[in-house]
Protein backbone atom coordinates (compact mmCIF):
# COMPACT_ATOMS: atom_id res chain seq x y z
CA UNK A 1 0.00 0.00 0.00
CA UNK A 2 1.14 3.54 -0.75
CA UNK A 3 0.12 6.63 1.23
CA UNK A 4 0.67 9.78 -0.80
CA UNK A 5 0.38 12.93 1.31
CA UNK A 6 0.01 16.32 -0.40
CA UNK A 7 0.90 19.16 1.99
CA UNK A 8 2.63 22.52 2.16
CA UNK A 9 4.38 21.38 5.37
CA UNK A 10 6.15 18.11 4.43
CA UNK A 11 8.67 18.51 7.26
CA UNK A 12 5.89 17.85 9.82
CA UNK A 13 5.96 14.19 8.72
CA UNK A 14 9.67 13.56 9.32
CA UNK A 15 9.50 12.49 12.99
CA UNK A 16 6.20 10.72 12.37
CA UNK A 17 7.60 8.56 9.53
CA UNK A 18 10.63 7.71 11.66
CA UNK A 19 8.60 6.45 14.61
CA UNK A 20 9.69 2.86 15.36
CA UNK A 21 6.70 0.75 14.20
CA UNK A 22 6.09 2.81 11.08
CA UNK A 23 9.77 2.95 10.23
CA UNK A 24 10.15 -0.82 10.65
CA UNK A 25 7.07 -1.63 8.54
CA UNK A 26 8.25 0.74 5.79
CA UNK A 27 11.66 -0.92 5.84
CA UNK A 28 10.02 -4.35 5.48
CA UNK A 29 8.17 -2.98 2.44
CA UNK A 30 4.71 -3.52 3.96
CA UNK A 31 3.67 0.00 2.95
CA UNK A 32 5.23 3.25 1.83
CA UNK A 33 4.53 6.84 2.89
CA UNK A 34 5.42 9.42 0.26
CA UNK A 35 5.14 13.02 1.43
CA UNK A 36 4.92 15.65 -1.32
CA UNK A 37 5.26 19.40 -1.19
CA UNK A 38 2.29 20.90 -3.04
CA UNK A 39 4.50 23.81 -4.10
CA UNK A 40 6.33 21.42 -6.47
CA UNK A 41 3.24 21.61 -8.71
CA UNK A 42 2.92 25.43 -8.61
CA UNK A 43 3.76 27.14 -11.93
CA UNK A 44 5.02 30.58 -10.93
CA UNK A 45 8.46 31.43 -9.61
CA UNK A 46 7.08 32.17 -6.11
CA UNK A 47 5.50 28.68 -5.95
CA UNK A 48 2.09 30.15 -5.09
CA UNK A 49 -0.57 27.68 -3.95
CA UNK A 50 -3.14 30.09 -2.45
CA UNK A 51 -5.22 33.09 -3.51
CA UNK A 52 -7.73 35.53 -2.04
CA UNK A 53 -11.29 34.11 -1.92
CA UNK A 54 -13.88 35.17 -4.50
CA UNK A 55 -16.45 37.43 -2.87
CA UNK A 56 -13.93 38.70 -0.32
CA UNK A 57 -13.30 37.63 3.24
CA UNK A 58 -10.38 37.10 5.54
CA UNK A 59 -7.54 34.71 4.78
CA UNK A 60 -6.44 32.78 1.73
CA UNK A 61 -7.82 29.76 -0.12
CA UNK A 62 -5.78 26.94 -1.63
CA UNK A 63 -5.94 26.87 -5.43
CA UNK A 64 -7.25 23.97 -7.49
CA UNK A 65 -4.58 23.82 -10.26
CA UNK A 66 -1.55 22.56 -8.27
CA UNK A 67 -3.76 20.05 -6.43
CA UNK A 68 -5.20 18.75 -9.71
CA UNK A 69 -1.73 18.33 -11.22
CA UNK A 70 -0.35 16.63 -8.09
CA UNK A 71 -3.22 14.12 -7.94
CA UNK A 72 -2.96 13.29 -11.66
CA UNK A 73 0.76 12.64 -11.38
CA UNK A 74 0.58 10.58 -8.18
CA UNK A 75 -2.27 8.45 -9.52
CA UNK A 76 -0.46 7.66 -12.74
CA UNK A 77 2.79 6.84 -10.88
CA UNK A 78 1.02 4.15 -8.82
CA UNK A 79 -0.89 2.71 -11.81
CA UNK A 80 0.14 -0.84 -12.60
CA UNK A 81 0.29 -1.94 -16.27
CA UNK A 82 -1.15 -5.35 -15.27
CA UNK A 83 -4.09 -4.50 -13.05
CA UNK A 84 -6.33 -1.65 -11.98
CA UNK A 85 -4.91 0.24 -8.96
CA UNK A 86 -7.39 0.32 -6.14
CA UNK A 87 -6.86 3.93 -5.17
CA UNK A 88 -8.76 6.69 -3.33
CA UNK A 89 -8.33 10.45 -3.12
CA UNK A 90 -9.17 11.79 0.32
CA UNK A 91 -9.72 15.43 1.10
CA UNK A 92 -9.58 16.57 4.72
CA UNK A 93 -12.28 19.01 5.71
CA UNK A 94 -14.20 19.63 8.93
CA UNK A 95 -17.34 19.39 6.76
CA UNK A 96 -16.50 15.82 5.68
CA UNK A 97 -17.82 12.43 6.79
CA UNK A 98 -16.61 11.46 10.27
CA UNK A 99 -13.68 9.01 10.22
CA UNK A 100 -14.41 5.73 12.03
CA UNK A 101 -12.74 2.39 12.72
CA UNK A 102 -14.97 0.89 10.04
CA UNK A 103 -13.63 3.38 7.49
CA UNK A 104 -10.10 2.43 8.58
CA UNK A 105 -10.85 -1.23 7.67
CA UNK A 106 -12.24 -0.12 4.32
CA UNK A 107 -9.13 1.99 3.60
CA UNK A 108 -6.80 -0.84 4.67
CA UNK A 109 -7.89 -2.81 1.59
CA UNK A 110 -6.73 -0.11 -0.85
CA UNK A 111 -3.47 -0.08 -2.85
CA UNK A 112 -3.05 3.69 -2.74
CA UNK A 113 -4.47 6.50 -0.61
CA UNK A 114 -3.81 10.03 -1.82
CA UNK A 115 -4.47 12.54 0.98
CA UNK A 116 -4.93 16.27 0.41
CA UNK A 117 -4.10 18.39 3.47
CA UNK A 118 -5.69 21.82 3.55
CA UNK A 119 -4.34 24.93 5.30
CA UNK A 120 -5.38 28.60 5.54
CA UNK A 121 -9.15 29.11 5.08
CA UNK A 122 -9.44 25.77 3.29
CA UNK A 123 -9.39 24.60 -0.31
CA UNK A 124 -11.26 25.74 -3.44
CA UNK A 125 -14.52 23.76 -3.17
CA UNK A 126 -14.09 22.36 -6.71
CA UNK A 127 -11.46 20.00 -5.25
CA UNK A 128 -14.19 18.52 -3.03
CA UNK A 129 -16.71 18.42 -5.89
CA UNK A 130 -14.61 17.11 -8.76
CA UNK A 131 -11.33 15.62 -7.50
CA UNK A 132 -11.86 13.96 -4.09
CA UNK A 133 -13.40 10.50 -3.81
CA UNK A 134 -14.09 11.06 -0.12
CA UNK A 135 -14.28 14.10 2.15
CA UNK A 136 -13.13 13.11 5.63
CA UNK A 137 -13.39 14.91 8.97
CA UNK A 138 -11.64 13.52 12.03
CA UNK A 139 -14.05 15.24 14.42
CA UNK A 140 -16.36 18.18 15.03
CA UNK A 141 -13.69 20.79 15.59
CA UNK A 142 -11.45 22.89 13.34
CA UNK A 143 -7.71 22.27 13.11
CA UNK A 144 -5.12 24.51 11.47
CA UNK A 145 -4.39 21.94 8.78
CA UNK A 146 -4.97 18.45 7.38
CA UNK A 147 -1.56 17.08 8.41
CA UNK A 148 -2.71 15.63 11.75
CA UNK A 149 -5.75 14.00 10.09
CA UNK A 150 -3.37 12.41 7.54
CA UNK A 151 -1.24 10.98 10.36
CA UNK A 152 -4.37 9.68 12.07
CA UNK A 153 -5.44 7.86 8.90
CA UNK A 154 -1.95 6.39 8.45
CA UNK A 155 -1.80 5.13 12.05
CA UNK A 156 -5.29 3.64 12.17
CA UNK A 157 -5.02 2.03 8.74
CA UNK A 158 -1.49 0.65 8.99
CA UNK A 159 -2.06 -1.10 12.31
CA UNK A 160 -4.73 -3.18 10.52
CA UNK A 161 -2.27 -4.39 7.90
CA UNK A 162 -0.85 -7.83 8.82
CA UNK A 163 2.77 -7.63 9.91
CA UNK A 164 2.74 -4.00 11.04
CA UNK A 165 2.11 -4.31 14.78
CA UNK A 166 3.53 -7.82 15.03
CA UNK A 167 0.39 -9.21 16.63
CA UNK A 168 -1.33 -11.32 13.97
CA UNK A 169 -3.78 -12.84 16.44
CA UNK A 170 -5.16 -9.35 17.01
CA UNK A 171 -7.35 -9.54 13.91
CA UNK A 172 -8.29 -13.21 14.26
CA UNK A 173 -9.41 -12.66 17.83
CA UNK A 174 -12.01 -10.15 16.71
CA UNK A 175 -13.44 -12.55 14.19
CA UNK A 176 -15.13 -14.47 16.98
CA UNK A 177 -18.58 -13.36 18.01
CA UNK A 178 -20.02 -13.83 21.48
CA UNK A 179 -21.54 -17.14 20.32
CA UNK A 180 -18.15 -18.30 19.08
CA UNK A 181 -19.04 -17.94 15.38
CA UNK A 182 -16.99 -16.10 12.77
CA UNK A 183 -18.54 -12.66 12.54
CA UNK A 184 -16.88 -10.22 10.13
CA UNK A 185 -19.22 -7.32 11.01
CA UNK A 186 -17.77 -7.31 14.50
CA UNK A 187 -14.25 -6.90 13.20
CA UNK A 188 -15.04 -3.72 11.36
CA UNK A 189 -15.99 -1.58 14.29
CA UNK A 190 -14.51 -3.42 17.22
CA UNK A 191 -12.69 -1.84 20.15
CA UNK A 192 -10.70 -4.28 22.27
CA UNK A 193 -11.41 -4.95 25.94
CA UNK A 194 -9.45 -2.91 28.54
CA UNK A 195 -6.05 -4.27 29.63
CA UNK A 196 -4.41 -4.68 33.06
CA UNK A 197 -0.89 -5.57 34.14
CA UNK A 198 1.12 -6.02 37.37
CA UNK A 199 0.56 -5.32 40.23
CA UNK A 200 -2.66 -7.27 40.83
CA UNK A 201 -3.54 -4.80 43.59
CA UNK A 202 -2.31 -1.19 43.53
CA UNK A 203 -2.42 0.77 46.80
CA UNK A 204 -2.23 4.53 46.14
CA UNK A 205 -2.72 5.22 49.89
CA UNK A 206 -3.06 3.08 53.03
CA UNK A 207 -6.40 1.26 53.01
CA UNK A 208 -7.17 1.99 49.34
CA UNK A 209 -6.93 -0.90 46.90
CA UNK A 210 -7.37 -0.71 43.14
CA UNK A 211 -7.71 -4.30 41.96
CA UNK A 212 -7.33 -5.97 38.56
CA UNK A 213 -10.41 -8.04 37.58
CA UNK A 214 -10.46 -11.53 39.14
CA UNK A 215 -11.37 -13.24 35.85
CA UNK A 216 -8.12 -12.11 34.24
CA UNK A 217 -6.05 -13.55 37.09
CA UNK A 218 -7.88 -16.89 37.14
CA UNK A 219 -5.74 -18.66 34.51
CA UNK A 220 -9.03 -20.09 33.14
CA UNK A 221 -9.00 -19.35 29.40
CA UNK A 222 -12.77 -19.75 29.02
CA UNK A 223 -13.42 -17.21 31.78
CA UNK A 224 -10.79 -14.85 30.39
CA UNK A 225 -12.31 -15.13 26.88
CA UNK A 226 -15.79 -14.40 28.27
CA UNK A 227 -14.46 -11.34 30.14
CA UNK A 228 -12.72 -10.10 26.96
CA UNK A 229 -15.94 -10.52 24.94
CA UNK A 230 -18.06 -8.84 27.58
CA UNK A 231 -15.79 -5.80 27.79
CA UNK A 232 -15.05 -5.39 24.07
CA UNK A 233 -17.13 -2.74 22.39
CA UNK A 234 -18.51 -2.17 18.92
CA UNK A 235 -17.77 1.46 18.15
CA UNK A 236 -19.13 1.77 14.62
CA UNK A 237 -21.20 -0.38 12.25
N1 LIG B 1 -13.06 27.37 7.31
C2 LIG B 1 -12.31 26.25 6.84
C3 LIG B 1 -13.24 25.10 6.52
O4 LIG B 1 -14.35 25.07 7.05
O5 LIG B 1 -12.82 24.18 5.77
C6 LIG B 1 -11.32 25.83 7.89
C7 LIG B 1 -10.04 25.46 7.29
S8 LIG B 1 -8.92 24.77 8.43
C9 LIG B 1 -8.27 26.17 9.22
C10 LIG B 1 -7.61 24.30 7.35
C11 LIG B 1 -7.63 22.85 6.95
O12 LIG B 1 -7.48 22.02 8.09
C13 LIG B 1 -8.85 22.33 6.25
O14 LIG B 1 -8.86 22.68 4.88
C15 LIG B 1 -8.72 20.84 6.46
O16 LIG B 1 -7.87 20.25 5.48
C17 LIG B 1 -8.05 20.75 7.81
N18 LIG B 1 -9.00 20.45 8.90
C19 LIG B 1 -9.40 21.29 9.88
N20 LIG B 1 -10.23 20.69 10.73
C21 LIG B 1 -10.38 19.42 10.30
C22 LIG B 1 -11.13 18.29 10.75
N23 LIG B 1 -11.91 18.35 11.81
N24 LIG B 1 -11.04 17.15 10.04
C25 LIG B 1 -10.27 17.06 8.95
N26 LIG B 1 -9.54 18.10 8.47
C27 LIG B 1 -9.58 19.26 9.13
Q: Say yes or no to pLDDT of 98 above 50.
A: yes
Class in CATH terms, 2-158: alpha beta
Tell me the pLDDT tens digit for each residue of 61-83.
999 999 999 999 999 987 777 67
Q: For 169-234, CATH number?
A: 1.10.1270
| Residue of 6, 7, 118, 134 to mutate, ligand 1, most atoms within 8 A of C-beta | 118
Residues of the chain with CATH 3.40.1280.10: 2-158
Task: Please write down the long-range contacts of 78-82, taking CB distance under 8 Å and 24 or more positions apart.
Answer: 78/2, 78/4, 78/111, 78/112
Tell whether ligand 1 has an atom less than 6 A from the beta carbon of residue 66.
Answer: no
Q: What is the pLDDT at residue 191?
A: 78
The torsion angle over the Cα atoms of residues 76, 80, 84 and 85, rounded to 10 degrees, is -60
Among 183, 193, 175, smallest CA distance to 229 is for 193
Is the model's pLDDT at 91 over the cut of 50?
yes
Task: Please enumerate in sequence order all residues whose Cβ is within 8 A of that of 90, keeping only pairs 6 or more positions apart, or say none.
Answer: 113, 114, 115, 116, 132, 133, 134, 135, 136, 153
Percent of the chain with pLDDT over 90: 78
Cβ atoms within 10 Å, residue 188: 18
Residues of the chain with CATH 1.10.1270: 169-234
Kindly give the distance from the C-alpha atom of residue 136 to the centroid of ligand 1, in angstroms, as a whole number.
Answer: 10
Instruction: Measure CA 220 to chain center.
Output: 36
For residue 137, what pLDDT is reported? 98
Amino acid sequence: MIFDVITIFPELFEPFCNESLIKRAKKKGIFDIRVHNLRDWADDKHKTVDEKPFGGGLGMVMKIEPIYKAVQELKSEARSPKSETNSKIILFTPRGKKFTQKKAYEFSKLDQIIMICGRYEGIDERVARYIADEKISIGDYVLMGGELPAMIIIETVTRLIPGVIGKPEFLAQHLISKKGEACPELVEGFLEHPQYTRPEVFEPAPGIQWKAPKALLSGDHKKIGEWHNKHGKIISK
